[in-house]
Amino acid sequence: MATVFTHALVGGLLAGPMRVELPRARLSAFLAVIAVLPDIDVVAFAAGIPYVHPLGHRGITHSLTFGLMLAPLATSLAFPRLRRFGSAWWRVTAAAALACISHGFLDAFTDGGKGVGFFIPFDAERIFFPWRPLIVSPLGVESFASRAGPVLWSELRWVWLPVLALAGAWQFSQRPRSRS
């Protein structure tokens, strides 16, 4: 899996281009949490659920179905004052779905694990992308600490720098133009 830092960064940055009347920091934090949430499935290990089971790690919580079902519920709970099914609600819901779904996409670019169950519950196949430049992040603090350097370097190179460059380009494109 990619690290929690990278999942949160990608999700949180989705708030940048959104045009909604919500506090930007709160929206960004919400999307960061939604992007990290699929890894709640690590409790499956403690419950004795095998990795490749649909309820196992990178299973149903990493699926497109989960992201699409979680987004409207999470948006309604996190922003109860947004008029349900109004345009702002739909924009936040779409961003939440994208944040959640981005988690599985990042994990499918890693070089370890058993793949991602994008289509669970309809198809149990686990999928990796053909190009897998991200070094998989070990589970557990001790394991991570021993391999943090290479893991974080691969994420910095292949995710953080490109994503931050895109965010910077978007910010630059939003500057008011002077009429000289």
Q: 88 lies in a domain?
A: yes
Query: pLDDT-based confidence at 180, cuts 50/70/90?
Result: low
Q: 93 lies in a domain?
A: yes
pLDDT tens sequence across 107-149: 999 999 999 999 999 999 999 999 999 999 987 777 787 788 9
Which helix (DSSP H) or strand (DSSP E) does residue 165 occupy? Answer: helix 161-173
Q: 114 lies in a domain?
A: yes
The CA distance from 9 to 108, in Å, is: 17
pTM (two decimals): 0.93
Range of the domain at 116: 4-132
Count how many domains the chain has.
1
Q: What is the DSSP letter of 110?
A: B
Axis crossing angle, helix 4-13 with helix 24-36, rounded to the nearest 10: 140
Q: 159 lies in a domain?
A: no
Q: 73 lies in a domain?
A: yes
